[in-house]
Each structure stands twice: as C-alpha cells, then as structure tokens.
Chain A
Amino acid sequence: NAGVTQTPKFRVLKTGQSMTLLCAQDMNHEYMYWYRQDPGMGLRLIHYSVGEGTTAKGEVPDGYNVSRLKKQNFLLGLESAAPSQTSVYFCASSYSNGGGYTFGSGTRLTVV
C-alpha cells in the first residue's frame, strides 16, 4: 500500500518563484492536511480539507493556497516563495476527524 505520497521530496526555490506540492493518498480518506515543521517548533497546520472540493485555513495559512479537486489529491501552492517558507512540509490524511493519521514522508523546501 502506498499510503500517502508527497512529491517532490526536495526543492530549492528562489525568492518570488512559485511551486506546487502534491499529496496523494490511496486510502479513501476524507480528511487531508498540510503541515509545516520548523526547528524548535511543533507541527503547525497550514490548510486542511474535510472532503473533495472543500478547503479550510489552519494556523499558518498566509502565503499558501490549496485545492482538493479530487478526493485522493491535496495540492499546496506557494504563489511567491519567501525565505520564511523554508521548512519541511508534511501532508497527512485521516478517515475521520478524530481518526488516526497517516503521514507522507515530507518535502524539504529551501527558499533562497
């Protein structure tokens, strides 16, 4: 089982460039999440989705956009990357709001 797959695994961007991170899950989970992880801080929720066609803001949404056009995919976009967005990004999914999580392997993004 693939579980949750994130692409790409690594990326270096120049300030002002744009990019999209893809998260794909094959478990038919309704809920999907994007987190960022920074040194010395816990995981912080960027955006999440409770089903196909829905998205909602999390704790740190500024500078990011998301889309969930298909149930299995959750895309995270950076329209104009900034050095403050250098981080490790994790996607996760769950079958319900209180269910156990399955995480992707992460994307390490560096903005120079």
Chain B
Amino acid sequence: KNEVEQSPQNLTAQEGEFITINCSYSVGISALHWLQQHPGGGIVSLFMLSSGKKKHGRLIATINIQEKHSSLHITASHPRDSAVYICAVRGGDDKIIFGKGTRLHILP
C-alpha cells in the first residue's frame, strides 16, 4: 500500500463546479504540500500545511492531522485549473513522499 494515496486519480468536471481532491497518508508527518503540474510539465507549489486550513484565491487546502487526511478544494472551477494536483508529505525523518497525482480536467 502506498504511503500517500490520492483520490480520485482522474476527475472531469464542468466549468463552475466545486472540486475536491483528497489525500490520505499513513505516516507521521511534519508538513504536507499541495503541488500543481500543468500540461506543459512545470510544477508549482500551491500550499504547505501543518495544521488547519489555508486559502489562496479560489483554492482552499485543509488538513486533519488526527485522521491523516488533507483535501484540496477549488471553488468556481475554470478550464485553466486543468492540471495534475500532487500531494506530498514530509515524514518525521524528513523524507518526502509524493502521491501519484490527481488529473483534473475542467470542461468549458
């Protein structure tokens, strides 16, 4: 079993829909990262979380340390949000473990 599991693997939605991507992990962590990889391949860091919730524009990230779960939400989704979203956790040994990513496609 992978130490970082993301769901769904693929998601197609209509423009304007509220999007939720989930990340569950099985190890103790010191931080969790959400990354965005666009079709061109570049990777951008969206959030780093160790507790609670963070918001940036239409993106919201939450983490529940007790349940070892994080969610990334996108409000009022837009075709330009189409990308692969990657969850990564930093374990207690400082090792970083990446999820396999969630491929999001927003239809106009």
Number of interface residues of A (CB under 8 A): 20
Given contacts A98-B30, A98-B90, A100-B33, contact A43 B98 (CB under 8 A): yes
What DSSP secondary structure best describes chain A's contact surface? loop
Interface residues of B in 55-103 (CB under 8 A from A): 86, 88, 90, 94-101
Cα A92 to Cα B33 in complex, Å, equals: 14
CB nearest neighbor in A for B30? A98
CB nearest neighbor in A for B40? A105
Nearest CB on B from A107, distance (A): 10
What DSSP secondary structure best describes chain B's contact surface? strand
Please report B residues at the A interface, Cβ cutoff 8 Å: 4, 30-31, 33, 35, 40-45, 48, 86, 88, 90, 94-101
Cα A103 to Cα B98 in complex, Å, equals: 14
A102 contacts B45, C-beta separation under 8 Å: yes
Which one of B43, B45, B101 has the greatest number of beta carbons of chain A within 10 Å? B43
Given contacts A98-B90, A99-B48, contact A42 B33 (CB under 8 A): no
Is A75 close to B, CB under 8 A? Answer: no
A to B CB contacts below 8 Å, 6 in the list: A42-B4, A42-B88, A45-B95, A98-B31, A105-B42, A108-B41
